[in-house]
A and B are shown apart, each in its own frame.
Chain A
Amino acid sequence: DAGVTQSPTHLIKTRGQHVTLRCSPISGHKSVSWYQQVLGQGPQFIFQYYEKEERGRGNFPDRFSARQFPNYSSELNVNALLLGDSALYLCASSLDRANQPQHFGDGTRLSIL
């Protein structure tokens, strides 16, 4: 069975641009969460979506937004990119939102020049 898939794997942008990252969950999983991982740190929670609604938000500015589609795939959008947004962006899926094991994709490596 396919795991969590993310695209693209790598992306280079310049300051001020906008980026959209995509995630397809494991088949049957209805919850998708997004995390940011900077080098040498653990992943930091950005959003959780369940049944197409936002169910949790981390301490990130409004430049970060996301949505979940009827097929449970998800997009993370980041506007007005800053150098500090350079990181690995991870998507995780789980059966539902309440303390179910979250399974991660391999992430999108975003570099801001």
Chain B
Amino acid sequence: GENVEQHPSTLSVQEGDSAVIKCTYSDSASNYFPWYKQELGKGPQLIIDIRSNVGEKKDQRIAVTLNKTAKHFSLHITETQPEDSAVYFCAASKGDKIIFGKGTRLHILP
């Protein structure tokens, strides 16, 4: 079955700097890759997603890139702000279930 690896597990960046989270997946049939942000006591919130027919997608300060050949995808957050502090999950899907990575705890330092 699908396996999603996510790195790093913890990331600390200075406010205003960029943050990058990287993920790899194992099943070449996966074709949908969502990213979720989870704050304490809340459920995961979809922040951006990308499909396998697209290499890059951007939404304001957030961008995601996908390399199908290498089976890896990344989340980029620019101009980080205190409210970006949370746990971020990458995920992969090929139609039904979503397989999640183990998460990255992002700390934005003042």
Name A residues whose Cβ lies closer than 8 Å to a Cβ of B: 4, 33, 40-45, 48, 55-56, 58, 90, 92, 97-99, 101-107
Contacts and interface: CB of A to CB of B under 8 A. Distances in A.
Contacts of B99: 45
Contacts of A98: 95-96
A66 B89 CA distance: 25
B42 interface: yes
Interface string B63-87: 0000000000000000000000000
A103 B46 contact: yes
Interface of B is mostly: strand
A62 B89 CA distance: 28
8 contacts: A4-B43, A41-B102, A42-B103, A45-B98, A48-B96, A101-B34, A101-B49, A103-B46
Nearest to A47: B97
B95 A97 contact: yes
Given A101-B34, A101-B49, A103-B46, A42 B100 contact: yes
